[in-house]
Structure 1
């Protein structure tokens, strides 16, 4: 009986000449949902391709080209979040333009009757309704202060751990929870106003 050894897969070297055709649309879509600025999203995708070219020797083939490029892009997006949020932390944590009303009773912490969450009517799958809801959500997200948007996006779109979000954006855990709470309240109020 022959002793079979597992042969490691031979990884294909990156093929930069095909990156634009193969990955530009995907990377742009990934970026625009997180940055919400088309020009900046395009710039970040171009910067990602440039960084990929400059770091070709670092590509070990442990992931697909697309995953590798997305990782580079993700770091660039986090840099944008940091720049947008620096210097605004204390102000944005405590206040925001058009901050939502106080939704809760001060005595028991429950919803005030007039502000109770309403059913969005999305019980049945309706692609058109979901597309419209997504458009309204994107508009509502654009209204969030930069730091709030960064925290919300990293936590709920990128599924980052709380510790990672706090470290990357240089905020405390207490500030994180205040921001997430207020961002959700603002988004909820905006959705109820514009979707219902």
Structure 2
């Protein structure tokens, strides 16, 4: 009777978990220090390798090729985490976030302004209050608001001058306008109602 001898074929994707799983897991752990995340990225790596194994040229070992896939998965994860962290930080530092509840509704809804816009434009006192409110804005919001809404420059010119995307310009303008509305509400319109 012949003894059962199992020969492992490293190129066979069915053997990759047994042949390379521990190594890939340790590799992910050494970079991420998170067992659950390392397991997830191991699965994603093996799945991506399985889907793309027909395109594997064989110019390197299967393990080297799988480590290359895992490196990309780790980089993608880190980039995504940084983007999400930056988004959370920008929301937390957004001066307009104080105006809204977690569900996006107003803490205190803005009131309708009943003053004549032409009269406001002619009022030196109003311009003084508006300038003080603009000076309270973060520097980049001040710059884009003055260029776009005060000077009337085209959005494309503002984007080129400030080296920002159109999306970023709209975000900055929205935040500036919200902060200015709040400031004017408290330092001009509410004061007018009191007098």
- TM beyond 0.5: no
The alignment's TM-score, normalised by the length of structure 1, stands at: 0.43
Larger relative contact order (Cα-Cα within 8 Å, sequence gap ≥ 6): 1
Higher helix share: 2
